[in-house]
Every structure is written in structure tokens, then in C-alpha cells.
Amino acid sequence: MSGSYQKENVTEMESKDLQLRQECMKLLQKYLPQHQKEVYEFSHDWISKGNTDTTWLEEDFLKYVNDIEKWRKLASKVH
């Protein structure tokens, strides 16, 4: 494999990731005012796991936020 082929391949993959991140942000933008950190973390993790189909993205995000809130409540009871 030549170096230029690898570089083009990485650039293409990065471009797809950026497009997918934009799509995630667009679909989750209504949650940004209240859950900005969670939107960014969820989007990063979701893409890093190789997901590409955003059909259930919002539902998955809501489950993610719900789980985080449950953990925060548990942690506040322990401390």
C-alpha cells in the first residue's frame, strides 16, 4: 500500500465521520440547551462504536441521558 492511498482513505473516513457528527448534532440540537455535554459525549461514543444509521439516535440518546441521571441520583445518595 502506498502512503498516498492510506492518506486518501483516512481523509475519506474522517469526512464520513464529520458528516455523521453533523447529522447527530442536527438530530439532537433541541437537547443542547439542557444537555450540551451529554450530546457531545453521546455523539462521540456513538460514532466511535461504528454506528452509521441514525434511525434510533434520539431514542438511544434519551436512554443514555436517563441512565446518567439515575447514576447521578445514586451517587448523591451515597455521598
Task: Give residue 31's pLDDT band: very low, low, confident or very high (50, 70, 90).
Answer: very high
Of 65, 43, 67, which Cα lies nearest the Cα of 54? 43
Q: Which residues contact 21 (CB under 8 A, 6 or more apart)?
A: 43, 47
The distance in angstroms from the start CA to the end CA of the chain is 55
Rounded Cα gap, residues 63 and 60, in angstroms: 5
What is the extent of the structural domain holding 74?
3-78
pLDDT digits (tens, 9 = 90+) for 38-54: 999 999 999 999 999 99
**pTM reported for the whole predicted model:** 0.77
Total domain count for the chain? 1
Please state the rounded mean pLDDT for residues 53-57.
96
CA distance 70 to 79: 15
